[in-house]
Chain A
Amino acid sequence: MDEPELLLDSNIRLWVVLPIVFITFLVGVIRHYVSILLQSDKKLTLEQVSDSQVLIRSRILRENGKYIPKQSFLMRKFYFNNQEDGFFKKTKRKVVPPSPMTDPSMLTDMMKGNVTNVLPMILIGGWINWTFSGFVTTKVPFPLTLRFKPMLQQGIELLSLDASWVSSASWYFLNVFGLRSMYSLILGQDNGADQSRIMQEQMSGAAMAMPADTNKAFKAEWEALELTDHQWALEGVEEELMSRELDLDGMFSKELPTGIF
């Protein structure tokens, strides 16, 4: 059976659809600037900086150790991995797991995150729902099952209405996610209004870098370095070099750059 197309009042387009877009966008921009204002400085301790650089150095040693002579490579490997006083064996960092309760700065960060992001969304979603309720706002271009009806048709009590017709609240949520790319266009990358990025960060942040990691990172590096062997990249370098003539083309060009420009 062909569903009869509903004809919506054009006033809806003028007074509902567009205002919701503007409201969402402006709220996003305000959120971005508020998050900048509330941003607390992340201060790194000397030890953290130092440790991260040591880890980088060890990784470079593993990857590019083949460019230095064997003796030098072994010297450095010994420095890191020696049984008694190798760096990775000897150094134990004090580990303070930053649970939200004990670490006050983490707590305030979480609170700020919540305030700037979740709270406005809930408030404005609710306000829009209350203001623009009781009518159908728009139609999503793909068919939906009946399951979506209570979710997307908040104020509309029509059992026979196709689930593709949605209320203003769902249009609002559609906007929140859809305007993400607009934000990156206007506010530049890394903006505070990017909702989903923040949620992603929250999820991955829980799984990742906490200071307990330093000791674990050291252990992982130690293992990796133990396994690394030295394959000198320069074994046959002369033969490779002399297999053909040097490419001296264009070495002596007649024009020398003079002056500044």
Chain B
Amino acid sequence: MGQIEWAMWANEQALASGLILITGGIVATAGRFTQWYFGAYSIVAGVFVCLLEYPRGKRKKGSTMERWGQKYMTSVVKLFGPLTRNYYVRAVLHLLLSVPAGFLLATILGTACLAIASGIYLLAAVRGEQWTPIEPKPRERPQIGGTIKQPPTNPPPRPPAEARKKPSDEEAAAAGGPPGGPQANPIPVTDEVV
């Protein structure tokens, strides 16, 4: 169990709580229940939580699956720096957000779920986890002519591929003759072209 990043689960839980808050809020507002203005609050709080939690943080080990279209929210969430990076802040924020929704039965489920998410975030914060944005990888521009291999610069006989060293070494070796090269040529090799 040592490799669990609790923040990842807290993130899923918080996202679900946001959706539940929105649903409960819509039901309370549409049905004009008593004290339905708490329902209106719940919708707003739910939307805020969903937007905050939508971009998934980067895992410490291994690759992270991004949610579809999360890069737009990532850039926004990144702007707040330590406020969104630190999980203590998130834990407290979620706890505070969940309280007003607890006054209405329709949204109390959202309160409970968000409070649980807050608890898991607290656990994550205690274990030193942090939210790191998933950066898009810089696109590798194909090097023009990068895959063209230079022809061998030393005359035959040449050592086989696995023993071949860098071209600069080889030139020196070929010019210096045996035994400095990777292959000891039995007959000294000289370049006869003047």
A and B pair up: no
